């Protein structure tokens, strides 16, 4: 988006949003979809911006419902030894 290639910013945002969703991190997916929505709005593609905002909203709703616990966060950071040890 820095070079005003707003539509070119869609693909990386979509790929990132889908990738982190597959990893079970809707909290991170939200930001990806919000960035895509901003790019679409800047490009004047309002229907696409709304589509991305809908996906951001769905990711945010899942994030609120799933609220990751400490073990989930540690596991996602590769700190599996702490998870196995049950440290708080």
**For the chain, domain boundaries:** 7-85
pLDDT in tens, 59-85: 888 776 666 566 666 666 666 566 566
Q: How many of the other CB atoms lie within 10 Å of CB of 27?
A: 17
Query: Distance (Å, rounded) from C-alpha 88 to C-alpha 80?
Result: 13
* pLDDT tops 70 at residue 36: yes
Answer yes or no: is pLDDT of 40 > 90.
Answer: yes
Find, among 33, 31, 71, 66, the residue nearest to 50 by Cα.
33
Please say whether the dihedral angle defined by the alpha carbons of residues 70, 75, 79 and 82, taken in this order, is positive or negative: positive
Question: Does the pLDDT value for residue 16 go beyond 90?
Answer: yes
């Amino acid at each position: 988006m820095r070079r005003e290639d707003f539509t070119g910013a869609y693909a990386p945002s979509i790929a990132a949003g889908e990738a982190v969703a597959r990893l079970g991190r809707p909290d991170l997916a939200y930001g990806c979809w919000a960035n895509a929505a901003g790019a679409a709005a800047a490009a004047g593609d309002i229907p696409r911006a709304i589509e991305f905002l809908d996906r951001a909203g769905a990711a945010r709703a899942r994030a609120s419902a799933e609220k990751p616990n400490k073990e989930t966060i540690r596991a996602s950071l590769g700190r599996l030894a702490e998870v196995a040890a049950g440290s708080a």
